[in-house]
Amino acid sequence: MTAVVTAHGVTKRFGDVTALDDVSFALAEHTIYGLLGRNGAGKTTLMQILTGQAFASSGKVSVFDAPPVENPAVLSKVCFVRESQRYPHVYTVRHVFRTARRLFANWDDTFAHGLAADFQLPAGRLVRKLSRGMLSALGVTVGLAARAPLTFFDEPYLGLDPAARQLFYDRLLADYAEYPRTVVLSTHLIDEVSDLIERVLLIDRGRLLLDEDADDLRGRAVAATGPAEAVDGFVAGRTELHRERLSGLVRSTILDGLGPHAKAHAKALNVELEPLSLQQLVVGLTAPPTTTAPADREAAR
Amino acid sequence: MNRIGQVARLQMPAWPQILGWTWGMTAVTFGINLLAFMANYDPGDGVRNTGGLISLYGIAIGMATISVNQIFPYALGMSVTRREFYLAWSLLAVVQSVVYALVLCLLRAVEQATGYWGMGMRYFGLPFMDDANPVLLLLGYAVPMLVVTHLGILLGTLYLRWGTTGVLTGLTLTFTALGLAAALITWTRQWHAIGRWLLDQSPAALLAGWPVLVAAAFAVGGYRLIRRATA
Amino acid sequence: MDDDRPIFLQIAELIENSIIDGSLVEESQVPSTNELAAFHRINPATAAKGVNQLVSEGTLYKRRGIGMFVAGGAQARLRERRRERFTEQYVEPLLAEARKLGIGHDELMKMIDSFDAVVGRDLG
CA atoms within 13 A on the CB side of B12: 13
Same domain as A286, residue A201 = no
Same domain as A117, residue A160 = yes
| Chain centroid to CA A227 | 36
> Distance (Å) from the C-alpha of residue C9 to the closest C-alpha of chain A?
10
Query: Which residue, A168, A193, A217, sits at the end of a domain?
Result: A217
- Selecting from C34, C41, C49 the residue whose C-beta is nearest the C-beta of A195 gives C41
pLDDT of residue A182: 97
Fill in the amino acid letter for B146: L
What's the domain count of chain A? 2
| SS3 state of residue C113 | helix
Q: Please give the DSSP secondary-structure letter assigned to residue A129.
A: G
Question: CA distances (Å), A224 to each of A16, A121, C5, in order?
Answer: 41, 47, 17
| SS3 state of residue C61 | strand
Same domain as A13, residue A35 = yes
Stretch C5-29: mean pLDDT: 90
Q: What is the 3-state secondary structure (H, E, C) of A213-272?
A: EHHHHCCCEEEEEEEHHHHHHHHCCCEEEEEEEECCEEEEEEECCCCHHHHHHHHHHCCE
* Chain B interface residues (partner A, CB cutoff 8 A): 3, 6-7, 9-10, 13-14, 16-17, 70-71, 73-74, 76-84, 227-228, 230-231
**Residue B153: other Cβ atoms inside 10 A:** 27
d(CA A293, CA C76): 53
* Sequence ranges of the domains in chain B: 2-226
* Chain A interface residues (partner B, CB cutoff 8 A): 48, 51-55, 70-72, 75-76, 78-80, 82, 85-92, 95, 99-100, 102-104, 148
pLDDT of residue A290: 56
With bands split at pLDDT 50, 70 and 90, how would you rate the model's confidence at C47? very high
Most confident of B17-26, B38-47, B200-209, C16-25: B17-26
Same domain as A82, residue A141 = yes
| SS3 state of residue A288 | coil
Interface test with A, best of C43, C46, C85, C100 (most A CBs within 10 A): C43
Domain of residue A154 covers: 3-217
d(CA A43, CA A37): 7
pLDDT of residue B39: 83
pLDDT of residue A294: 45
Question: DSSP letters along chain B, please?
Answer: -HHHHHHHGGGGGGHHHHHHHHHHHHHHHHHHHHHHHHHT--GGG--EE--TTHHHHHHHHHHHHHHHHHHHHHHHHTT--HHHHHHHHHHHHHHHHHHHHHHHHHHHHHHHHTTIIIIIEE-S--GGGGG--HHHHHHHHHHHHHHHHHHHHHHHHHHHHHHHHHHHHHHHHHHHHHHHHHHHHHHTT-HHHHHHHHHHS-HHIIIIIHHHHHHHHHHHHHHHHHTT---
Same domain as A173, residue A248 = no
Query: Which residue, A217, A247, A269, sits at the end of a domain?
Result: A217
Q: What is the mean pLDDT of chain C?
A: 89
Same domain as A237, residue A121 = no
pLDDT of residue A301: 45
- Selecting from A80, A89, A99 the residue whose C-beta is nearest the C-beta of B70 gives A89
| Chain A residues within an 8 Å CB radius of B71 | 88
d(CA A193, CA C43): 10
Stretch B14-23: mean pLDDT: 95
d(CA A231, CA A250): 7
Same domain as A95, residue A67 = yes
pLDDT of residue A296: 46
| Chain centroid to CA B83 | 22
Which positions ≥6 away from B148 have C-beta within 8 Å?
B57, B58, B60, B61, B64
pTM over 0.95: no
Stretch B31-38: mean pLDDT: 87
d(CA C82, CA C80): 5
d(CA C107, CA A294): 45
d(CA C22, CA C17): 8
With bands split at pLDDT 50, 70 and 90, how would you rate the model's confidence at C123? low
End-to-end C-alpha distance for chain A, whole angstroms? 56
pLDDT of residue B1: 64
Label residue C121 exposed, middle or buried (CB < 10 Å: 0-12, 13-18, 19+): exposed
Partner-chain contact A170 C41, CB within 8 Å: yes
Query: Which residue, A190, A217, A244, sits at the end of a domain?
Result: A217
- How confident is the model over C107-121, as pLDDT tens digits? 999 988 888 888 777
Same domain as A261, residue A140 = no
Neighbours of chain A (3+ CB pairs under 8 A): B, C
| Residue A163 · residue A110 · CB < 8 Å | no
d(CA B196, CA B186): 15
**Predicted-complex ipTM score:** 0.88
Most confident of A92-106, A246-260, B38-52, C71-85: A92-106
**Residue B109: other Cβ atoms inside 10 A:** 13
CATH number for the domain including A124?
Answer: 3.40.50.300
d(CA B184, CA B67): 37
d(CA A128, CA A257): 49
Fold of C7-72: Arc Repressor Mutant, subunit A (1.10.10)
- Selecting from A32, A173, A215 the residue whose C-beta is nearest the C-beta of C38 gives A173
| SS3 state of residue A24 | strand
**Residue B189: other Cβ atoms inside 10 A:** 8
**Residue A295: other Cβ atoms inside 10 A:** 13
Same domain as A258, residue A147 = no
Please list the rounded mean pLDDT of every run of 10 residues in chain A (301 residues). 92 94 96 94 95 96 96 96 93 97 95 96 95 95 97 93 94 94 94 92 95 86 88 84 85 78 81 87 81 46 45
| Chain A residues within an 8 Å CB radius of B81 | 52, 70-72, 75
d(CA A119, CA C23): 37
